[in-house]
Amino acid sequence: MRTDQGLFSGIFGRGGVDTGDQAWLQAMLDTEAGLARALERAGLAEPGAGAAVTAAAQADAFDVAELGRQAALTGNPVPALVRELSAMLPRAAAGAVHHGATSQDIIDTAAMLLARQALSAMAADLSVAASGAAGLAAAHRDTVMIGRTLLQQAVPITFGLVAAGWLTGLDDARQALSRVRAERLAVQFGGAAGTLASLGGAGRQVAALLADELGLTRPVLPWHTDRLRVLDLAGACAGAAGALGKVARDITLLAQSEVAEVREGDGQGGARGGSSAMPHKRNPVGAVALLGCTRQVPGLLASLAAAAEQEHQRAAGAWHAEWQPLGDLLRLAGSAASWGAELLAGLEVDPARMRRNLDATRGLPMAEQVASLLGPALGRIAAHDLVAQASARAAGAGLDLRAALLDSAEVRQRLDEAGITARQIESALDPAGYLGSAGEFVDAALAAHAAAETRLVP
């Protein structure tokens, strides 16, 4: 059950990622319980202590607001949490609470537990999004549309190629998240200054047992002021946000009224996209909301990068600066993934409109192909200049490029001299004949996706 429901949570807290106060608290308690079990396994706590601490370590039994008030006295909420948890237990079991640990051990490990849950939820949504993109790529492998560079019409492409580009970005993001989840989520257990001196010679053994109890990686040594794990996690989430943002931005552009080549489906909640002022509107709400999530991510990533420089064995402030940005980044990347899953699963494509928009260019995007046809006979530069002049004449007079080429006596004479027939010109003006390797690229993306599906398990 999500714990951060609020006015904006339907947009920015969507999906299965939970980094609310209750989730943070439960992750801290899970860490304390795991430590108690590890200490018992190492023979450093009374038999049954681990089970007793685990039974008591339930977030619902604690007052989050009061812990927050107490945190102002110590710089973090762990000391107050330890006191309350210990008070709930018999003395023998209470002795296993927090033994050997410092506050940063508990919060850093809790962050890793939250990240593991978040990455699993993101992976599931990204898998759905990637499947949606793959379906679009396969269905529209040969659907011709105009390509656009610098927001201007360029040369013909296929919508399948567009969707294949989305697909490879999403699959790359999934791969990065999978690597972080498998390799970089490590337990933190170093005690006061990274030596675990309070545990004598059993420190490394308890650290290994704690990692085993929590299902986290065991690091070579404590990483109190080595924050590369946090940056790897944040970077992978930011990469996923970037891949999702690319999809959403393309959709907002393709869904513009004057373009209208795609439209969003209604989504799980029924018809949406209305305006508070304009009854006729059907806004691309999913894409807009997704972008609302992803636009916040770079600033959060920058905050975490700035906090990575930490002094000596424990940081003064930089570590504290990570908590909220990391939670927010996980939540927003997870929300974006949830939006992306729905968006791509329900996206509606209008091939007829794509063709009309392409035909409305009156053949001008085929100028490069025509110049290529003329190049061997006229020379590359002369062919370029001839077609450029015809294109300018077509644009200025409202003609199509065919007419500008074939209805001009001067141009027709040069074509005849070069041995270029009208049929060859018309063939060169066919967008379907100038798609290059688009189809093969789509096939390659789909094959790579099929291979990724065998490796990447949400």
* pLDDT digits 0-9 by tens, 26-75: 999 999 999 999 999 999 999 999 999 999 999 999 999 999 999 999 99
| CA 314 vs CA 190, 325, 367: distances in Å | 11, 19, 64
Please give the average per-residue pLDDT across 317-342, as a whole number: 98
When computed from its CA atoms, the radius of gyration of the chain, rounded to whole angstroms, is 30
Cα–Cα distance, 78 to 109 (Å, whole number): 12
Cα–Cα distance, 87 to 106 (Å, whole number): 18
pLDDT category at 283 given cuts 50, 70, 90 is confident
pLDDT category at 413 given cuts 50, 70, 90 is confident
pLDDT category at 377 given cuts 50, 70, 90 is confident
- Give me the phi and psi of 147, to 5 degrees please: -85, 155
pLDDT at 273: 52
Options 148, 272, 282, 314, the catalytic residue: 314
On the question of pLDDT at 398 being above 50, the answer is: yes
On the question of pLDDT at 1 being above 80, the answer is: no
Please give the average per-residue pLDDT across 258-278, as a whole number: 69
pLDDT at 2: 56
**SS3 for the chain, per residue?**
CCCCCCCCHHHHCCCCCCCCHHHHHHHHHHHHHHHHHHHHHCCCCCCCHHHHHHHHCCHHHCCHHHHHHHHHHHCCCHHHHHHHHHHCCCHHHHCCCCCCCCHHHHHHHHHHHHHHHHHHHHHHHHHHHHHHHHHHHHHCCCCEEEEEECCEEEEEEEHHHHHHHHHHHHHHHHHHHHHHHHHCCECCCCCCCCCCHHHHHHHHHHHHHHHHHHCCECCCCCCCCCCHHHHHHHHHHHHHHHHHHHHHHHHHHHCCCCCCCEECCCCCCCCCCCCCCCCCCCCCHHHHHHHHHHCCHHHHHHHHHHCCCCCCCCCCCCCHHHHHHHHHHHHHHHHHHHHHHHHHHHCEECHHHHHHHHHCCCCHHHHHHHHHHHHHHHCHHHHHHHHHHHHHHHHHHCCCHHHHHHCCHHHHHHHHHHCCCHHHHHHHCCHHHCCCCHHHHHHHHHHHHHHHHHHCCC
Q: Which two tokens stand for residue 327?
A: 């939670």
Instruction: Give burial (CB, 10 Å; 0-12/13-18/19+) of 279.
Output: exposed
pLDDT at 276: 46
Q: How many residues belong to the chain? A: 458
pLDDT category at 266 given cuts 50, 70, 90 is confident
Q: Quick one: CA dihedral 355, 360, 366, 368, positive or negative?
A: negative
pLDDT at 300: 98
Cα–Cα distance, 427 to 222 (Å, whole number): 67
pLDDT at 420: 86
On the question of pLDDT at 4 being above 70, the answer is: no
Active site residue 314: yes
Query: What fold is seen in the domain 364-428?
Result: Ribonucleotide Reductase Protein R1; domain 1 (1.10.40)
Amino acid letter, residue 302: A
Cα–Cα distance, 64 to 74 (Å, whole number): 15
Contact between 349 and 136 (Cβ < 8 Å): yes
Q: Which two tokens stand for residue 290?
A: 């997704």
Cβ atoms < 10 Å from Cβ of 218: 14
pLDDT at 415: 84
pLDDT category at 81 given cuts 50, 70, 90 is very high
Average pLDDT, the chain: 93
Give the class (CATH, top level) of 103-353.
mainly alpha
Cα–Cα distance, 73 to 81 (Å, whole number): 13
Options 179, 275, 380, 455, the catalytic residue: 275
- Of 100-109, 207-216, 396-405, 409-418, which range is least confident? 409-418
Domains 103-353 and 364-428 share a fold: no
Active site residue 181: no
Task: Tell which phi-psi region holds residue 194, choosing left (phi > 0), alpha (psi between -120 and 50) or beta.
Answer: left
Domain boundaries, the chain: 103-353, 364-428
Higher pLDDT: 414 or 83? It is: 83
Nearest to 216 by CA among 175, 185, 256, 172: 185
pTM surpassing 0.75? yes
pLDDT at 278: 44
Contact between 108 and 24 (Cβ < 8 Å): no
On the question of pLDDT at 271 being above 60, the answer is: no
Give per-residue pLDDT as tens, 127-160: 999 999 999 999 999 999 999 999 999 999 999 9
pLDDT at 269: 55
Cα–Cα distance, 368 to 384 (Å, whole number): 8
